[in-house]
Structure 1
């Protein structure tokens, strides 16, 4: 009997010891997770751990050439390599996880705490990023509400939650300082007379230069969504969104890979005596190539615009099949001829193959092609293929483009 009791007691002690050890392991594990990653409601780390990677989800730049990001455990270094045409300088931003120490060796003006809680955008092209990332509620200021087409942003404007700050060359610094945003996103042309970057940084504001317009491909421009995402710690979401955009674009482009007869195309219009034609390495040329077009200036090696005379364009494009992307103020053929009667000499005018990217212009003149079009290159490409090869996309309805009649 005593032997049985002794055996029973040893068993009880053994199982209690096992239970205690298991409890301690779980407790230690839970404590480690708790202290190293716990954040408050505002996204700040409560208990900084030098060994913790606070950015487990990272982005990878695959198409944009002017943007890079280097990850460290509690901060990320974002570099803008080519902010404007012929720039001899770049920009660098150090995005530090809230609640962690600021790294040494960086200029304080470059340091921005993330995730940001408020943003002012001085370009409508950045607004679709906020909508796709579902952070429109952080938008507190824009340049001009008349140009806006993004539905979520329009709702916020109507609710009186977004201030108007003014255009890039005429920004209301006082109002911006009152708003005190965590970040102001803008763009730069390299012209100190019109750019706002210097004025904004001198005022002590945190400013991010978005150089998407310098990219030479549609997907390269679209990928700048990731630039915006970095400030919100929305890497995972941005990767998913851009992957979907890329897949759609490539699937649509595949529709015309086997095309043997490519229609000839030219773009632009004569503006005050000069016809600015996109170079053969521009994003416009890339769009047309992916849409199965024979762009007349595709042999050019530049990515910028070529300033040409009317006569030079007429000589080369007189017999082109299609004319795209001309003046936004032309609503019909009468407007075109009123601008310059010589336009009647183009074959594309005679055949009616005139298509413009102004199908989505709001009542105050804001063109959605220059807003959401950049973030949805697959839709733009679908429009172009529908125009040039309608049989390849029989069910697609033109979204950004319309025919001039």
Structure 2
């Protein structure tokens, strides 16, 4: 009898110890404490230490010229140098690690706690960033759902997890305030009548201006993925993703580097009496140079668009080999000539060397070239090389571009 009681007593003690250990293990897993930075699964610091570097993984800007990042131990200062054409202002954001003190000397509108938990994007070009960084589940609002092509975002829209807020010039402020996102990403043009930045900040929202479109190289535009990453503390992921993008782009560019034939190319179309041609230092000109083209305006020194007359374009591009990126409404050669019968005078029209960047347009007219092209510059470049030097990439199928029939 004593032996049996002793056995039961030991069994109970063993069971209690086992239960206690199991409970502790479960508790530890539920808080998910990261011992390297002492943060919980919500990204906030538990016990702030002024000697700890809370951003051990840092990004380095290598191609973008309008983005500067300065790291401090518990906050990072992000500066946007050139937010729009001929801008006389810069923007600065102070991204403070959650659970650490706010640094002194900054305007409160500039201070944003990171990592953010929710985001609203007023530009479709920012959406692929969220997918590549693995944070698309944080997206709660967009400008116009009809323009979206990114599959992961479309799924969230269909599931009712993403609200429609309105475009840059006509944002529904009340709806945004109801959503109460940690961050709204937008862009600026310098036009106070259409830009949303001022009214969004006046409403008390945290706003980040993404100026990727001001970059004059494809990789410079693509690197603004890192701007998005900074708000999520996704530096490591951003560096890895951009490293892969850069490698792919440079590998493709290398294939066309030593071509002997450089076909002549022009772009754009006549719009209400003005033909807007990309400048010789624009990202489009860089694409064409890397694709082995002879861009007819590559001697120009500007990075913006050149407003030209039809006569000026015709005089220089009459005998050009290729015409790219014309009116999006043109579905065939008949449509093109119907817009302006003078187009028939171009050699590229007569030979049928017409390619447009509208191969991926959804039923509502949203063009994926303008959405995911920036994030996949290697594919854009591959398309251009396929068009101009098909023998270099024999297995590549046009993705963003299509030939006009």
Instruction: Give the TM-score of the pair, scaled to structure 1.
Output: 0.91
Partner of 2:221: 221
Partner of 1:7: none
CA distance in structure 2 between the aligned counterparts of 1:332 and 1:260, rounded to whole angstroms: 31
Partner of 2:320: 320
SS at match of 1:371: helix
User: Does 2:114 match 1:114?
Assistant: yes
Partner of 1:280: 280
User: Does 2:136 match 1:142?
Assistant: no
Query: Relative to 1, partners in 2 of residues 1:379 and 1:113: Cα closer, same or farther, differing over 3 Å?
Result: same
How many aligned residue pairs are there?
Answer: 373
Partner deviation per Cα, 1:30-72 (whole Å, 9 max, x = no partner): xxx9777221221100000111000000000000000010000
Partner of 2:207: 207
User: Does 2:131 match 1:131?
Assistant: yes
Q: Is the 8 A contact 2:280 2:297 kept in 1?
A: yes
Partner of 1:291: 291
CA distance in structure 2 between the aligned counterparts of 1:229 and 1:98, rounded to whole angstroms: 16
Partner deviation per Cα, 1:339-390 (whole Å, 9 max, x = no partner): 0111000000000000000000000000000000110000000000000000
Structure 2 residue runs of 5 or longer lacking an equivalent are 1-32
CA distance in structure 1 between the aligned counterparts of 2:317 and 2:67, rounded to whole angstroms: 36
Partner of 1:19: none
Partner of 2:47: 47
Q: Is the 8 A contact 2:165 2:176 kept in 1?
A: yes
Q: CA deviation at 1:125?
A: 0.3
CA distance in structure 1 between the aligned counterparts of 2:37 and 2:147, rounded to whole angstroms: 41
SS at match of 1:77: strand
User: Does 2:359 match 1:342?
Assistant: no
SS at match of 2:70: strand
Aligned pairs (5 A) from 1:172-251: 172-251=172-251
Q: Is the 8 A contact 1:37 1:47 kept in 2?
A: no
Partner of 1:24: none
Q: CA deviation at 1:337?
A: 1.1
Partner deviation per Cα, 1:61-108 (whole Å, 9 max, x = no partner): 000000010000000000000000000000000000000000011001
Q: Is the 8 A contact 1:36 1:52 kept in 2?
A: no
Q: Is the 8 A contact 1:386 1:394 kept in 2?
A: yes
SS at match of 1:288: helix
Q: Is the 8 A contact 1:128 1:371 kept in 2?
A: yes
Partner deviation per Cα, 1:149-202 (whole Å, 9 max, x = no partner): 000000000000000000000000000000000000000000000000000000
Partner of 2:307: 307
Query: Relative to 1, partners in 2 of residues 1:334 and 1:34: Cα closer, same or farther, differing over 3 Å?
Result: closer
Q: Is the 8 A contact 2:182 2:206 kept in 1?
A: yes
CA distance in structure 2 between the aligned counterparts of 1:199 and 1:40, rounded to whole angstroms: 34
Q: Is the 8 A contact 1:166 1:172 kept in 2?
A: yes
Query: Relative to 1, partners in 2 of residues 1:295 and 1:48: Cα closer, same or farther, differing over 3 Å?
Result: same
CA distance in structure 2 between the aligned counterparts of 1:322 and 1:98, rounded to whole angstroms: 53
Q: Is the 8 A contact 2:96 2:114 kept in 1?
A: yes
Structure 1 residue runs of 5 or longer lacking an equivalent are 1-32
Instruction: Give the TM-score of the pair, scaled to structure 2.
Output: 0.91
SS at match of 2:244: helix
CA distance in structure 2 between the aligned counterparts of 1:41 and 1:238, rounded to whole angstroms: 20
Partner of 1:62: 62
CA distance in structure 2 between the aligned counterparts of 1:38 and 1:282, rounded to whole angstroms: 45
CA distance in structure 2 between the aligned counterparts of 1:37 and 1:334, rounded to whole angstroms: 63
Partner of 1:387: 387
CA distance in structure 2 between the aligned counterparts of 1:211 and 1:379, rounded to whole angstroms: 22
SS at match of 1:375: coil
SS at match of 1:287: helix
